[in-house]
Amino acid sequence: MRRSAGLLLLAVAGFLGVLAVVVPTYLLGALAVAPEDYYGVFRLRAVGAEGLDQASGKVLTGLDVEAVSTVRGDPNAATADLVVWDGTTTVQTSTGIVLAYSDRRVAFDKTSGLVVTCCGAYVGETDVEQSGLAYKWPYFAGRRDYPFFDPVTLQTQPMRYEGEERISGLTVYRYHQTIPDRRVGPVPGGRLPAYKDVPAYLYASVDRTYWVEPVTGTPLRVRETQNQTIRTADGVPRLTALAADFHTPPEETTTHANDLRPTIIVLGFARGPAPWVCGGSAAIALVVGLVLYRPEGLREPETSIPNEADGRAA
């Protein structure tokens, strides 16, 4: 019976030893990657915004505005190392007036999150080369700066790490990016609204802060201030295309946090205590199993104490 229990413990020790290696090496490799078939909808809201009504050519003020971004993975374009995601963003007022629309296709590394030029990537009507991070940070993001591509001004600038906070019960890292005002390109149609013979160009500046959950690399909250103006060739601002201070609605932040918790627990355990727990348990099971499995003949013989009466009889 003792040897059977010992044999069982030896088998358990072997299994746990394998787990100690497999969990950090293979399990994390399977879980800590961006999904090929991803789908998500994200909203940013702004109060008191300004925007150009393309239909009338008039600048509207005091607007309640919502930017809705829909992101879809393209599994057919994915490879062993890359995922390809398509995204659209529509900015519209509470009354349904569309102020801006953009679409984007980007390929990036499943693990690092860094953009790779391939797979028909584009932003709007341009095939500008994207670089840096796109939609998310890498799993187990660091307390450091990351390059981040801005789809508004079509350039990559650092997302600078600024500190650690708590949001909805989760630890998050705060990153900040500032992109100064620059010319993006000609306005749609290439002319100033209401003045069809005057060439016009779109200028934009962006100031954004991302609060990122570091285990999954997922942005939990966003604040983004956009200022877009239409200018003539002399660089003089003529119209406001968009001026808004966007932020993630609190209820959406709470929903994202609740959705992330199970993944955070699994990944945190797999990367942290799991290998040590499995390895330590394997060592204990090995020692106890060897002791129990050792044949009877190899154990120390019991020492008998001579009987006092026997001694006298001799």
Taking the model in full, what pTM does it have?
0.79
pLDDT at 31: 74
pLDDT at 234: 85
The arithmetic mean of pLDDT across residues 159-171, rounded, is 97
Whether pLDDT at 28 is above 50 = yes
Rg of the chain over Cα atoms, rounded to whole angstroms, equals 31
pLDDT at 285: 47
Task: Quote the mean pLDDT of the chain.
Answer: 82
Q: What is the pLDDT of residues 127-153, one digit of tens each?
A: 889 999 999 999 999 999 999 999 999
Give the closest residue to 218 by CA, choosing from 269, 271, 163, 172.
172
Give the closest residue to 124 by CA, choosing from 74, 68, 206, 188.
188
Whether pLDDT at 43 is above 60 = yes
Give the closest residue to 113 by CA, choosing from 32, 177, 178, 213.
32
Helix/strand/coil (H/E/C) assignment for every residue in the chain: CHHHHHHHHHHHHHHHHHHHHHHHHHHHHHHCCCCCCCEEEEEEEEEEEEEEECCCCEEEEEEEEEEEEEEEECHHHCCCCEEEEEEEEEEEECCCCEEEEEEEEEEEECCCCEEECCCCCEECCECCCCCCECCCCCCCCCCCCEEEEECCCCEEEEEEEEEEEEECCEEEEEEEEEEEEEEEEEEEEEEECCEEEEEEEEEEEEEEEEEEECCCCEEEEEEEEEEEEEEECCCCEEEEEEEEEEECCHHHHHHHHHHHHHHHHHHHHHHCHHHHHHHHHHHHHHHHHHHHHCCHHHCCCCCCCCCHHHHHHC
pLDDT at 314: 44
pLDDT at 294: 58
Percentage with pLDDT > 70 across the chain: 73
- Residue 272 in tokens: 């942290």
Contact 203, 181 (CB under 8 A): yes
pLDDT at 27: 61
pLDDT at 193: 65
Whether pLDDT at 269 is above 90 = no
pLDDT at 133: 97
Q: What is the pLDDT of residues 75-123, one digit of tens each?
A: 999 999 999 999 999 999 999 999 999 999 999 999 999 999 999 999 9
The arithmetic mean of pLDDT across residues 231-243, rounded, is 89
Other Cβ atoms less than 10 A from the Cβ of 222: the count is 20
- Residue 169 in tokens: 């019960």
Residue 260: which pLDDT band, with cuts at 50, 70 and 90? very high
pLDDT at 289: 45
pLDDT at 313: 46
Whether pLDDT at 204 is above 60 = yes
Tell me the C-alpha to C-alpha distance, in Å, between residue 314 and each of 70, 190, 304, 305, 307: 100, 124, 17, 16, 11
Whether pLDDT at 156 is above 90 = yes
Amino acid present at 129: E
Task: Determine the Cα–Cα distance for residues 294 and 242; give it in Å rounded to an integer.
Answer: 79
Task: Determine the Cα–Cα distance for residues 258 and 252; give it in Å rounded to an integer.
Answer: 10
Of 171-175, 260-264, 267-271, the one with minimum mean pLDDT is: 267-271
The arithmetic mean of pLDDT across residues 248-267, rounded, is 92
b or e along 244-280 (b: 16 or more beta carbons within 10 Å of the residue's beta carbon)? bbbbbeeebbeebbeebeebbeebeebbeebbeebbe
